[in-house]
Chains A and B, each alone.
Chain A
Amino acid sequence: MTLPSAHPYAFLALFALVAIAFPLLLLAVAQLWFRFFQPPKPSATKNDVYECGVAPTGDSWIQFKAHYYLYAILFLIFDVEVLFLLPFAVTFTTLPAGALVAMLVFILLLAEGLVWAWHRGHLEWK
């Protein structure tokens, strides 16, 4: 098995392409089947917005809680901080003691952000 194998990341990209192409292919087959073997029988009810079988009321563009958005923003902050922890974990054992303390301070900031959001009631689902 001494072969000039491709770079693993190139393979990952190729795999992603295959993973996109495969469902598209299946959808195309299903669509072809629909086109040639199933007579379309459109009706007003079939085309309707589904709302438990009753006639849909009002616009489907509804208002929703802004709180979802708040969670998304909190996630963004914490996710970036967690991202910085990953290289820390990888180089952890080679770090000098000072860097370890610095990292603990960084984690403290992370925890502090959480405490702040908690204290402000942003984590409570209202």
Chain B
Amino acid sequence: MFDFFFQLHPVIQGTAKGLAVILVIFPFAGACSLAERKVSAWMQGRPGPNRAIVPWIAWVPFLGKFLQRLGVFHLMADGAKFLFKEEPLPGHVNKLYFVLAPVVAMMPAFTTVAVVPFGAYFDPAGRLIPLALANVDVGLLAVFAVSSLGVYSLILAGWASNSKYPFLGGVRASAQLISYELSMTLSVLPVFLWINAPGQPGTMSLVKAVEFQSGAGLHWSGVWFGFLMPLSALIFLVSLYAETNRHPFDMAESESDLVGGFHTEYGAFKWSLFFVAEYSHMIIGSGVFTLLFLGGWNPLPGLPLATVAGWLGLAGTPLLVALLSLAVFLGKIVFLLFLFMWVRWTVPRFRYDQVMKLGWQKLLPLSIANLVFYALGIAFLERG
């Protein structure tokens, strides 16, 4: 059915795949913003966005009312509003960098999608084929390397705005991001100590990490790394919240003291690009967390994809297996995104000194100790 696609030139294929993924992530991020508003409303006991509706859908008796209550049309209304709002360039900004900053924010947010495997299927020979756009062997390293470029967009936006609040927001955000990057990198190292078994080429592949959590039955090979290395998972999750500038770490845009932080001077479409970039980072971060610590596309610990596909009789149809793995993976991502929002309304915002203290004096020593503990433990197991 799709044969004609594979006849195309690889560059055209790649561009088409890239555009397709962006066109999926873009509305997904938009849906996140709507979900954020709905979840916030739900936690605060109010209805939330429930007005917007397209007239001819309002005529549908039951469904129209339901979709209106759900607020799905606010998504389209928001998008249209961003595109059609006046797009002025404030006179005091550095024009080139001011326009460049949102683009720089989007680039890492979208590029990291390429190396994250969103699912997998089995080819007739029974081998696992990941659904990744670029299945590179340095997987996680590529994610870290590219996503850390996001710092530049914050500092660029803050500096180019030529205004006090954005500048302070940009400086704060960049110091915070680099502080938590250390603990984040150190916290995932035990996973790679574990999966780089002797006699195999070393790898930082995310697919490999999932394969090591895919054992069947009551055996330790099926245990997710989140249970095997709970401290790593915790440090990674906290750092992830800090890296995506989410509550309780939203120093970059703490509206009570910095108005909007680094994007105070932005409006209309350029602002919405920052917004989408932030949500894309959350989606990718949740995806990486799922792959490393929550078993990726395996439905339950000790109950891998292959077993469930076998029960459902899907073994002969790779497409259905791929869809099943995609559903499991996206389900976990959606839960983690909900967790982001849950934490937002549960934990109050930290002060800046508390953020720095947590990053440098708590998480960093803890992650070093964690690494040493697992290095010694695994070395002992290997040689013991």
**B86 near A34 (CB under 8 angstroms)?**
yes
Contacts of B174 in A (CB 8 A): 68, 72
Contacts of A11 in B (CB 8 A): 14, 114, 133-134
Partner of B368, one of A9, A92, A110, A124: A110
**B364 near A114 (CB under 8 angstroms)?**
yes
**A60 near B198 (CB under 8 angstroms)?**
no
- For A40, give the chain B residue with the smallest CB separation: B88
The interface size bin for chain B is 35 or more
* Cβ-Cβ contact count across A and B, 8 Å cutoff: 216
Q: How far is the CA of A90 from the CA of B361 in the complex (A)?
A: 27
- Interface, chain A (partner B; CB < 8 A): 1, 3-6, 8-12, 14-16, 18-20, 22-24, 26-27, 29-31, 33-34, 38, 40-42, 46-52, 60-62, 64, 68, 71-72, 74-75, 78-79, 82, 85-87, 89-94, 97, 100, 103-104, 107, 110-111, 114, 118, 123-125
Please judge, given known A-B contacts A1-B6, A23-B106, A75-B182, whether A93 and B197 are in contact too, CB under 8 Å.
yes
Partner of B165, one of A10, A50, A78, A79: A50
**B22 near A19 (CB under 8 angstroms)?**
yes
Contacts of A46 in B (CB 8 A): 88, 90
Partner of A79, one of B107, B181, B270: B181
**A71 near B178 (CB under 8 angstroms)?**
yes
**A15 near B134 (CB under 8 angstroms)?**
yes
- Interface residue? B27 (CB, 8 A): no
**B14 near A42 (CB under 8 angstroms)?**
no
**A9 near B134 (CB under 8 angstroms)?**
yes
Contacts of B268 in A (CB 8 A): 30
Contacts of B196 in A (CB 8 A): 89-93
Q: Measured between C-beta atoms, what is the minimum distance from B212 to chain A in Å?
A: 13
Q: How far is the CA of A76 from the CA of B352 in the complex (A)?
A: 20
Q: Measured between C-beta atoms, what is the minimum distance from B114 to chain A in Å?
A: 4
Contacts of B239 in A (CB 8 A): none
